[in-house]
Structure formats: structure tokens, C-alpha cells
Amino acid sequence: MDAPLCTPGEILTFWFEELQPEHWFKSPPGLDEQCQRRFMSTHLALARGIPPLWRETPDNRLAAIIVLDQLPRNIYRASPLAFATDSLALREAKLAIAAGADLATPAERRCFFYMPFEHAENLAEQVQSVKLFTELADAHYLDFAIRHHEVIRLFGRFPHRNEMIGRTSTAAEEAYLSQPGAGF
């Protein structure tokens, strides 16, 4: 039986209160399964369309972006579906930023409004990512934004996704991927 749809508040409670920040980017054992069980129904529902409730407040907008951008990376890890709603997350991030939702959110949560730009396989979006993370003034997040930008500048895509989504890597991408610490 499918899990019931979550509210934006439930998403934020999970992401910011139940999880430790180190779990946002390095999944501990069992987290992916928990995300799949608890949030897949909500992810699929938002992928079909964003109900007005999810755009009513800055927090709700942030929750929608997390559902479309961050949670699929846990729910569908090592699958092309992990990136399937990236364009939807980017659209929601752009709408949220245009509405000032990012600036109405505590600075320590703002990075999640900007992650969809960092995840985009598009140089213009990567430039915007670096700009947004520069304005956030968090050296750690800015470093990752710059590194993502550089990969897209060099290859026009993220080579670490190639095998997972059925793309053939170029010789240059294979050389890059053979380096310690390549990929994200």
C-alpha cells in the first residue's frame, strides 16, 4: 500500500530535524529505503503537478524543491529516475527565488533553493548556481558549486551520470572519471 502524501511541514521536519546535515549528501544505511517508503508517493504526486499549497509560503516552496530535487537522489539512487524531476525542481527554484522565498528562509536552509541550479546540465544554470552560492557566502557550498560548474564547462554534462542513464562516455570523460574524487 502506498504511503499517504506528506505535507510540506512533514518534509521539512524530516529533512531538517530528523536527518543530520551530514546525511543530506552521504546516505547512511537504511536512509534510501526510508525515503522510498515514506516519500515516493509524495514525489510522484508532485512530479505530476504542484498543488497550490506547495507554493503558498517560502517553507512550502522549499519543501517542494526538496521533494523534487533531493529526495529522488535517495529514493531512486543509482537509477536514471534519481534525476528525472531535476527540471521540475529547477522550475520551482526559479519561481521561488523570483518570489523572494529564498531570502525569507533562514540562511542555513537556503542552499536547497540553489541546488537545482547546481544539478543542471546547463552552463547558464551553473553560472547562476555559482552566483547564488557566492551570495550565500558559505565557502563549503560555494566550493561544490564551482566544482559542478567546472565539470559542465568542460563536458556539458556530468560524466558520473553517464553509465546510470545509458550515455556513452567520451575518452575525456573516462579520463576524468578515473581521477580520485571525480563525480559527486
The predicted-structure confidence for 121-137, as pLDDT tens digits, reads as follows: 999 999 999 999 999 99
Spatial distance between the Cα atoms of 28 and 84, rounded to a whole number of angstroms: 23
Q: Which of 50, 80, 106 is the last residue of a domain?
A: 106
Domain that includes residue 138, residue range: 120-183
Evaluate whether residue 160 is within a structural domain. Answer: yes
Same domain for 93 and 167, yes or no, is no
pLDDT tens-digit profile of 144-158?
Answer: 999 999 999 999 999
Whether residue 22 lies inside any domain: the answer is yes
Structural domain count of the chain: 2
Supply the CATH number for residue 158's domain: 1.25.40.10
Percent of the chain whose pLDDT exceeds 70: 99
pLDDT at residue 181 in the model? 84
The number of angstroms, rounded, from the C-alpha of 74 to the middle of its chain's C-alpha atoms is: 10
Average pLDDT over residues 85-97: 98
Same-domain status, 85 and 142: no
Q: How confident is the model at residue 1, as a pLDDT?
A: 47
pTM recorded for the entire structure = 0.95
With respect to residue 129, please indicate whether it lies within any of the assigned structural domains.
yes
111 in a structural domain: no
Same structural domain, 136 and 100: no
Residue 98 forms part of a structural domain: yes
Residue 183 has what pLDDT?
80
Each residue's pLDDT tens digit, 25-81: 999 999 999 999 999 999 999 999 999 999 999 999 999 999 999 999 999 999 999
Three-state DSSP class for residue 120: coil
- Picking from 129, 135, 163, the residue whose alpha carbon sits closest to that of residue 148 is 129
Last residue of a domain, one of 53, 71, 106: 106
115 domain-assigned: no
Query: What pLDDT was estimated at residue 2?
Result: 62
The last residue of a domain, from among 65, 80, 106? 106
User: Does 112 fall in a domain?
Assistant: no
Let me know if residue 133 belongs to a domain: yes
CA dist 71 and 81 (Å) reads 11
